[in-house]
Amino acid sequence: MKRRLKLSQKLFYSAVIVITIIAGIFAWKKGAAAPVAKAAHSVQEKTGDFVFYTTDTAKSIKHLFNAGKNIQYLTQKNMALDMENQSLRAELARLGRLKSLNDNEAYGKRVRTPANAISTGSGFIQFYALDKGSNDGVEEGDGVFAPGGVLGRVSSVGASTCMVQLLTDVKSSISARVERSGVAGILIGAGNNICELKYVPKEEDVQLGDIILTSELGASFPAGIKIGEVIAVDKKSNNLSLVVRIKPYVNTNTVREVLVVRKK
């Protein structure tokens, strides 16, 4: 009987020990797995962050590249529009100058042909080439006007171009008069953008600042068109007539658009 009791006690203690060991192993496994799982989760988080950061950076670089291309395109487009705007402004200014030239009642019913200067002369022999000729109705002897007044007279004509002899050319001569006093004379070119009013008696009334106009005596120019202004009057010379120097209103260095007006 005692032996059976001792055996039962041994079995009981053995079972308790086994259960304790199993519980300990289970508890140990559970406690050890937690750090591993935590570490794995941390690694996963870091890896996810890295992948997200890398992907986001790649997208940002792509966006920057596309933005750069867009900026370049818009810059080129803006430059093209700016050039077009400048061209339109220049054309508008040109049309304005031509309109101003054309709106002069002094031309009367004479035929008018707008033209552009395509080349110029220099020195004492001064000529302008225009882009209009006989095909456009231009004839030799027609008067040519630019912003400010008289430019010159058509000296030769081709089919599509013509040459203009400037007022300041030494071989140029036209009839002219003083606006204030009506004194008449012949305007001769003196070169260097200067003219002289010849054959004016010394007793005639001509003063500094007087405006010189075209005369009704000439066939090439309608009467009353401004030519220039008196800048010098010499009454003390030995000549029988005054020496009157004129500065034309037209700046021959900047002429672009002109108006050819048919002679009588």
The identity of residue 227, as a single letter, is I
User: Tell me, what's the pLDDT at 123?
Assistant: 53
Mean pLDDT for the chain overall: 79
The identity of residue 24, as a single letter, is G
User: Tell me, what's the pLDDT at 207?
Assistant: 95
* Tens-digit pLDDT profile for residues 197-227: 999 999 999 999 999 999 988 888 999 999 9
Mean pLDDT, residues 27-33 taken together = 49
Mean pLDDT, residues 229-255 taken together = 88
Mean pLDDT, residues 137-159 taken together = 94
User: Tell me, what's the pLDDT at 22?
Assistant: 57
- The answer on pLDDT for 46 being more than 90 is no
Could you write out the three-class secondary structure of the chain?
A: CHHHHHHHHHHHHHHHHHHHHHHHHHHHHHHHHHHHHHHHHHHHHHHHHHHHHHHHHHHHHHHHHHHHHHHHHHHHHHHHHHHHHHHHHHHHHHHHHHHHHHCCHHHCCCCEEEEEEEEEEECCEEEEEECCCHHHCCCCCCEEEECCEEEEEEEEECCCCEEEEECCCCCCEEEEEECCCCCEEEEEECCCCCEEEECCECCCCCCCCCEEEECCCCCCCCCCCEEEEEEEEECCCCCCECEEEEEECCCCCCCCEEEEECCC
Mean pLDDT, residues 170-175 taken together = 92
- The answer on pLDDT for 171 being more than 60 is yes
The identity of residue 223, as a single letter, is A
- The answer on pLDDT for 153 being more than 50 is yes
User: Tell me, what's the pLDDT at 39?
Assistant: 46
Query: For residues 10 and 56, what is the distance between their CA atoms, to the nearest angstrom?
Result: 68
User: Tell me, what's the pLDDT at 40?
Assistant: 44
- The answer on pLDDT for 37 being more than 50 is no
* Domain residue spans of the chain: 1-103, 110-261
Please give the CATH number for the structural domain made up of 110-261: 2.40.10.340
Which tokens in the block code for residue 206?
């001509």
User: Tell me, what's the pLDDT at 174?
Assistant: 94
User: Tell me, what's the pLDDT at 80?
Assistant: 83
Percentage of the chain beyond pLDDT 70 is 72
**CB count in 10 Å sphere of residue 226:** 19
Q: How confident is the model at residue 33 (pLDDT cuts 50, 70, 90)?
A: very low
User: Tell me, what's the pLDDT at 7?
Assistant: 46
Question: For residues 150 and 58, which has the higher predicted lDDT (pLDDT)?
Answer: 150
User: Tell me, what's the pLDDT at 21?
Assistant: 57
User: Tell me, what's the pLDDT at 17?
Assistant: 58
User: Tell me, what's the pLDDT at 61?
Assistant: 75
